[in-house]
């Protein structure tokens, strides 16, 4: 199994990161840690070096913080993506968040920065991990412009079934489902109708735990896989084989 998206570089894990990773190693094949900011990108790079062959990094700039980022901040992110191209398995997380960002000008700024990262991923032909919230359709309309990006990942997909069907019609787009599956009816309804060939699994740790007070961790991705198996009436091993296979193909690991 694989947690394709988490943030174990966050300070929430400072007291016991080693144990958290140990629990992940006991249950999972790989963990992908997604950079969130310039500092975070460097931290995930270090983690991938400390746990070579188990932890893989992606470099990005979170859309909610990107709205206020300076040109210099974004330039540093771009430069580091180019510099560490051989280390990273994707660009991300980047994207657009219309849930938290409601101001029109700030949304435009987000989109402009997102397009900058799309151009970069297109130029270097690397997959892109996208945080797209409440604007999934808009993202689906933008991405066909970037023909050289090998794969587009909708991390924590929560859009409509209609948009999910459009995503399944593009052969290089997948949707990632998290531990949220254990308690969100909307996500359960989605996964029931989405073909597993377009599905990845993740935790988005430390977020999206079973309760608000809890801290999520990569080993919990097993719960998402079990839930998918239950909903689709399949064996856990079968779901694991397909979703882990998808992730290995996309991120070349
Ligand atoms: Zn994330």
Q: Output the pTM of the full model.
A: 0.95
* pLDDT band for position 96 (cuts 50, 70, 90): very high
CA distance 166 to 143: 12
Query: How many angstroms is it from 245 CA to the middle of ligand 1?
Result: 21
Residue-wise pLDDT tens digits, 154-212:
999 999 999 999 999 998 999 999 999 999 999 999 999 999 999 999 999 999 887 77
Q: What is the DSSP letter of 14?
A: T
Average pLDDT of the residues in 105-131: 96
Window from 50-54, 55-59, 101-105 with minimum mean pLDDT: 101-105
Query: Order of strands, edge to edge, in the sheet holding 199-201?
Result: 2-6, 30-34, 55-59, 90-97, 128-133, 152-155, 173-177, 199-201
If one compares 100 and 231, the residue with the highest pLDDT of the two is 231
Number of neighbours of residue 101 by Cβ within 10 angstroms: 21
Residue-wise pLDDT tens digits, 3-38:
999 999 999 999 999 999 999 999 999 999 999 999
* pLDDT band for position 66 (cuts 50, 70, 90): confident
Average pLDDT of the residues in 96-109: 91
What is the chain's mean pLDDT, rounded?
96
Q: Are 12 and 215 in contact (CB under 8 A)?
A: yes
Reduced to 3 states (helix: H, G, I; strand: E, B; else coil), residue 176 is: strand
Predicted local distance difference test score (pLDDT) of residue 131: 96
Predicted local distance difference test score (pLDDT) of residue 85: 98
| Nearest C-alpha neighbor of 63 from the set 37, 32, 34, 89 | 37
Query: How many angstroms is it from 205 CA to the middle of ligand 1?
Result: 8
CA distance 101 to 72: 22
* pLDDT band for position 71 (cuts 50, 70, 90): very high
* pLDDT band for position 48 (cuts 50, 70, 90): very high
DSSP state string for 214-241? S---GGGHHHHHHHHHHHHT--HHHHHH
Q: Are 127 and 89 in contact (CB under 8 A)?
A: yes
Query: How many angstroms is it from 233 CA to the middle of ligand 1?
Result: 29
Q: Which residues contact 39 (CB under 8 A, 6 or more apart)?
A: none
Predicted local distance difference test score (pLDDT) of residue 190: 97
Question: With the C-alpha atoms ordered 8, 62, 246, 232, is the resulting torsion angle positive or negative?
Answer: positive
Query: How many angstroms is it from 40 CA to the middle of ligand 1?
Result: 11
Query: How many angstroms is it from 51 CA to the middle of ligand 1?
Result: 20
Q: Are 118 and 84 in contact (CB under 8 A)?
A: no
Predicted local distance difference test score (pLDDT) of residue 213: 78
Predicted local distance difference test score (pLDDT) of residue 210: 79
Query: How many angstroms is it from 227 CA to the middle of ligand 1?
Result: 21
Q: Are 36 and 61 in contact (CB under 8 A)?
A: yes
Predicted local distance difference test score (pLDDT) of residue 172: 95
Predicted local distance difference test score (pLDDT) of residue 83: 98
Predicted local distance difference test score (pLDDT) of residue 68: 82
Predicted local distance difference test score (pLDDT) of residue 64: 87
Average pLDDT of the residues in 110-115: 94
Tokens for 228?
A: 């998918």
Helix (H), strand (E) at residue 45: helix 38-50
Query: How many angstroms is it from 189 CA to the middle of ligand 1?
Result: 22
CATH code: domain 2-251 is 3.20.20.140
Predicted local distance difference test score (pLDDT) of residue 65: 86
Rounded to 10 deg, the angle between the 161-169 and 185-193 helix axes is: 40
| Nearest C-alpha neighbor of 5 from the set 81, 62, 57, 77 | 57
Query: How many angstroms is it from 165 CA to the middle of ligand 1?
Result: 23
Average pLDDT of the residues in 34-45: 97
Tokens for 109?
A: 């700024």
Q: Is 172 left (phi over 0), alpha (psi -120 to 50) or beta?
A: alpha
Query: How many angstroms is it from 232 CA to the middle of ligand 1?
Result: 26
């Amino acid at each position: 199994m694989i947690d394709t998206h988490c943030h174990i570089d966050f300070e929430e894990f400072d007291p016991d990161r080693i144990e958290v990773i140990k629990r992940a190693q006991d249950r999972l094949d790989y963990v992908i840690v997604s950079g969130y900011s310039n500092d975070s990108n460097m931290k995930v790079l270090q983690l991938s070096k400390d746990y070579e062959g188990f932890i893989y990094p992606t470099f990005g700039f979170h859309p909610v913080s990107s709205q206020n980022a300076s040109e210099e901040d974004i330039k540093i992110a771009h430069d580091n993506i180019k510099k560490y191209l051989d280390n990273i398995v994707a660009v991300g997380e980047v994207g657009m968040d219309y849930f938290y960002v409601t101001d029109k000008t700030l949304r435009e700024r987000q989109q402009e920065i997102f397009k900058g990262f799309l151009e970069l991923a297109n130029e270097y032909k690397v997959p892109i991990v996208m945080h797209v919230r409440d604007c999934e359709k808009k993202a689906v309309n933008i991405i066909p412009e970037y023909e050289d990006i090998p794969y587009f990942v909708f991390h924590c997909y929560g859009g409509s079934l209609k948009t999910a069907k459009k995503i399944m019609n593009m052969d290089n787009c997948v949707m990632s489902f998290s531990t949220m599956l254990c308690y969100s009816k909307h996500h359960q309804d989605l996964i029931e109708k989405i073909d597993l060939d377009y599905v990845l699994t993740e935790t988005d740790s430390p977020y999206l735990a079973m309760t608000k007070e809890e801290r999520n961790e990569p080993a919990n991705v097993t719960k998402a896989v079990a839930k998918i198996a239950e909903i689709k009436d399949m064996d856990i091993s079968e779901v694991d084989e397909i979703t882990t296979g998808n992730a290995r193909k996309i991120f070349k690991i």
